[in-house]
Amino acid sequence: MTTQPQPVLNPLAEAANATIKAENATVFDLLSERGKRFFFPAKGILAQGAEAKQKAKTANATVGIATENGAPMHLQVVGQYYQGLTPAEIYDYAPSFGKPDLRAAWAKKQRDETPSLGQALTSLPIVTNALTHGLAVVGDLFLDPGDEALSSDLMWENYNLSWETRLGARISTYAFFDNKLTGFNMEAFTQALFSRKGRKLVVALNFPNNPSGYSPTKAEAGAIINALIAAAEAGTKLVVVCDDAYYGMFFDDACEKESLFGRLAQAHQNLLAIKIDGATKEEFVWGLRVGFITYGVKGGTKALYDALEQKTGGIIRAVISNVSMPGQSIVLKALHAPDFRKQQAEKVEILRQRAAVTAIECRKTEYADCWDVYPFNSGYFMCLKVKGVLAETVRQKLLEAHGVGAIALGQTELRVAFSCLTEAQIPGVFSAAAAAVRACR
Ligand SMILES: Cc1ncc(COP(=O)(O)O)c(C=O)c1O
């Protein structure tokens, strides 16, 4: 039998691994083989450049950019499209970990929005190329081929592409809603955790959920956290990923408005909580590509978080080097703008009204034969469970006969993004959907 030669660990990876092992042996066990190998090249080009930035007062010949008149060189045909940003805020490279001011501002925002975090120590948020990239980094660091990730059956399809297709992990699902479609299926979730007792498991929690638009109630959120703590207590080694992509879009007072990360980050030593969030949906800047990855574990020390940040920064450096500077600069300025919260609330209010109109229209009794409605109270979407026809057939009919676009998922789920419908369009979308369902039967 031939054995594959193991790659030699870089001393910096060895040091980070030793720290992680000493601070929390479970977190070390949770790392993938790739995660164990990774490190940030602290003595490489970037680090030497950073040192020179501080000390090279005569001439700095370190960085791979071009300068002119003390600023990054640039073309007017590019610069004309930017207002209110200095050349350094547009053209320069950002650090692999992200702009320090942005990381600090986002950390403050997370704390302000998550009182349950209290004084619990977490890592600093590390900037990612929005949430997709943050999720990919989680996979890179914590999923080996064959490892299992647990998600609700209603989930964003890109989890499959990133974790299964790209990394060879396996995604298992539990039923998100109970049979009567009244709320979160606590029994299915608890059972899924219980049947994996004692193993390594990555759990993805996405609230507000894509595609259903559901966030748990406060009671459900508490029960979810308790179930995860019980699993950790029973010996399961958990990475719990809070995909908070749609954070802040809550339209019902009953739903939990805090990220579950706040409590999970200090829940149990066997449970590494990872918050994946960002400006994309919350700040309505989909194309800017600014997201964050933040770690928290009960008893987590600065040394542990530093080591995790080093591995994360290393993988970012290896794959994309760093995230768009203008994107980061604009998000940072927006976070500091006095009107930021006001403007954001105004847009959320528009979505709330669309959700309210949608809630009335989709549940009209005249459509009862066509679909059931999955519960929704947040986010950008809602989802119909069509009756007696395939969702894909309905989708095609809706598009061809009525000119209405929606997304078919699975056999029976039709996702409607009310976030991009005017209130006036909403009644017509559901009457067309009903016509399409009836025509396809
Ligand atoms: C649940 C969920 N997570 C993550 C993302 C990715 O967001 P981003 O555009 O920031 O990569 C999306 C985008 O649709 C999403 O629906």
Based on the domain organization, do 296 and 396 belong to the same domain? no
Based on the domain organization, do 193 and 296 belong to the same domain? yes
Q: So what's the pLDDT on residue 3?
A: 65
Q: Which of 281, 289, 409 to mutate to test the pocket of ligand 1 (most atoms within 8 A of CB)?
A: 281
Task: Quote the number of domains for the chain.
Answer: 2
* Residue ranges lining ligand 1, Cβ < 6 Å: 130-132, 156, 206, 210, 243, 245, 278, 280, 286, 291
CATH number of residue 255's parent domain: 3.40.640.10
Q: So what's the pLDDT on residue 32?
A: 98
Q: So what's the pLDDT on residue 62?
A: 85
Based on the domain organization, do 177 and 248 belong to the same domain? yes
Based on the domain organization, do 346 and 369 belong to the same domain? yes
Q: So what's the pLDDT on residue 53?
A: 82
Q: Name, in order, each residue with C-beta under 8 angstroms of 311's C-beta and a sequence gap of 6 or more.
A: 13, 16, 31, 35, 38, 39, 40, 141
Structural domain ending residue among the three candidates 336, 361, 380? 336
Based on the domain organization, do 299 and 218 belong to the same domain? yes
Q: So what's the pLDDT on residue 47?
A: 77
In a domain, 90, yes or no: no
Based on the domain organization, do 276 and 159 belong to the same domain? yes
Tens place of pLDDT for every residue, the chain, 441 residues? 556 777 789 999 999 999 999 999 999 999 999 999 999 998 778 778 878 888 988 988 887 899 999 899 999 999 999 999 999 999 999 999 999 999 999 999 999 999 999 999 999 999 999 999 999 999 999 999 999 999 999 999 999 999 999 999 999 999 999 999 999 999 999 999 999 999 999 999 999 999 999 999 999 999 999 999 999 999 999 999 999 999 999 999 999 999 999 999 999 999 999 999 999 999 999 999 999 999 999 999 999 999 999 999 999 999 999 999 999 999 999 999 999 999 999 999 999 999 999 999 999 999 999 999 999 999 999 999 999 999 999 999 999 999 999 999 989 999 999 999 999 999 999 999 999 999 998
Distance 4 CA to ligand 1 centre (A): 37
Based on the domain organization, do 305 and 346 belong to the same domain? no
Full residue range of the structural domain in which residue 353 is found: 341-440
Q: Tell me the three state secondary structure of residue 312.
A: helix
Atom in ligand 1 nearest the alpha carbon of residue 280: 10
Distance (Å, whole) CA 327 – CA 320: 15
CATH number of residue 415's parent domain: 3.90.1150.10
In a domain, 240, yes or no: yes
Structural domain ending residue among the three candidates 336, 359, 387? 336
